[in-house]
Amino acid sequence: MTETRAVIAEGAGGPEVLKIVRRTLPAPGPGQMLVRVAAAGVNRPDVMQRQGNYPPPPGAGDVLGLELAGIVEALGPGVTAFAPGDRVMALVAAGAYAERAIVEADVCLPVPEGVTLAEAGALPETWFTVWSNVFQRAGLRPGETLLIHGGTSGIGTTAIQLAKALGSTVIVTCGSAEKCRAALAVGADHAIDYRAEDFVAAARDITGGAGPEVILDMVGGPYMQRNLDLIAPDGRIAQIAFQQGSRAELDMGPLLFKRVTLTGSTLRARPVPMKAALARDLAERALPLLAAGKARPLIDSTFPFDDVARAHARMDGGDHVGKIVLTMTEEAGA
């Protein structure tokens, strides 16, 4: 048994409900590892869980956090891919906001040389999500155009970099001229300030009237009809969240007339074997881009573990560009 400090939400509410408590971890079981956590990414689902709107899957526990990076301390039976002392990054269903965590070895990735643990802690949730939805489910191909709603979010900055590294044109929508400039600096080809102009008309103009082949949307609500109106014939829409609601009255005609594929998924509750298969694909096709510096997590800010409430306040403010990261040890910067 191992004792650790960990973050939970005592009730639903603002950052003030986050509390650091002491928890006891069991020894790692078959296929698992004990990791000393150096850094953990802060993600929108963490905020939703804190607000009482996104409960963890059954059996996952109440400790917040979906991604982490750190040092392997102990191996469970059957683990051969890693050894104590290895630097790893892991996708977890819960438990990343802690000084130690039990992780499934099959959904861990090695941290390449030259990548800090703070950067690695900001990677799994967004890279797994983008890879699954944009490249596997929506099938973005080199030469196609991807439209990303929320271009300066952690998901958005990840999608920009991966899509550009693999040969696509990228259009993003953002909520201010400043964020548009930030998205262009990350690598987007075009940025549309949706508060200043209609993104449907602007994206049509950019694509010569054709529309993008793939749209990545986390907004939902009123964007759902506009995405259908905008998408190119034989296009694919990947829906990953509903920040403005999951209900809308839609004219589904374009779905038929344009032969549109509308796909949606969540990542957190997927079975470990499905996540493991995704990890293997990432290791083969995307991790080399990280190692070569062609795609890198964009860090907005880092906060010490004890300042987790300030990290969530930064997320709530909506001004961040890229990922917010909690750091547990000095190793996070190495």
Give the CATH number of the domain where residue 183 resides. Answer: 3.40.50.720
Strand boundaries in 133-241, DSSP class E? 145-149, 169-174, 190-193, 214-217, 236-239
Nearest to 93 by CA among 311, 267, 240: 267
Check whether residue 138 and residue 250 sit in a common domain: yes
Which of 66-70, 190-194, 245-249 bottoms out in mean pLDDT, i.e. has the lowest? 245-249
User: For residue 70, what are the contacts with CB-CB under 8 A and spacing of at least 6?
Assistant: 35, 36, 37, 38, 39, 87, 88, 101, 117, 121, 328, 329, 331
**What is the pLDDT averaged over residues 175-190?**
97
Picking from 216, 249, 264, the residue at the C-terminal end of a domain is 264
Q: State whether 318 and 189 are in the same domain.
A: no
The arithmetic mean of pLDDT across residues 296-317, rounded, is 96
Residues 6+ apart with CB under 8 A from 143: 167, 168
What CATH number is attached to the domain comprising 17? 3.90.180.10
Residue 216 backbone phi and psi in degrees, to 5: -105, 115
* pLDDT tops 90 at residue 168: yes
Same structural domain, 132 and 251: yes
Domain boundary among the residues 264, 285, 306 is at 264
Looking at the structure, tell me whether residues 13 and 94 fall in a common domain. yes
Helix H or strand E encompassing 200:
helix 199-206
Cβ–Cβ < 8 Å for 186, 112: no
Shared domain check, 189 and 242: yes
Domain total of the chain: 2
Q: What is the pLDDT of residue 242?
A: 92
CA dist 44 and 62 (Å) reads 16
299: enclosing H helix or E strand: strand 299-304
State the average pLDDT over residues 49-71.
Answer: 94
The verdict on 19 and 119 lying in the same domain is yes
The stretch 288-305 carries a mean pLDDT of: 95
Residue 332: pLDDT band (50, 70, 90) is: confident
Section 178-202 average pLDDT: 97
pLDDT score of 333: 74
Domain boundary among 264, 286, 317: 264
Domain region containing 216: 127-264
pLDDT digits (tens, 9 = 90+) for 137-160: 999 999 999 999 999 999 999 999
236 and 274 both lie in a single domain? no
pTM metric for this prediction? 0.93
**Angstrom distance (rounded) from CA 146 to CA 156:** 11
Report the share of the chain in percent with pLDDT over 90. Answer: 93
Same domain, 87 and 32: yes
Question: With contact defined as beta carbons under 8 Å apart, do 296 and 290 qualify?
Answer: yes
Do 84 and 204 fall into the same domain? no
Give pLDDT, residue 334. Answer: 59
pLDDT for the residue 331: 77
259 and 277 housed in the same domain: no
> Within this chain, do residues 136 and 226 fall inside the same structural domain, yes or no?
yes
228 and 192 inside one domain: yes
- Locate tokens 């709530």: which residue? 316
Query: Quick one: what percent of the chain has pLDDT higher than 70?
Result: 100
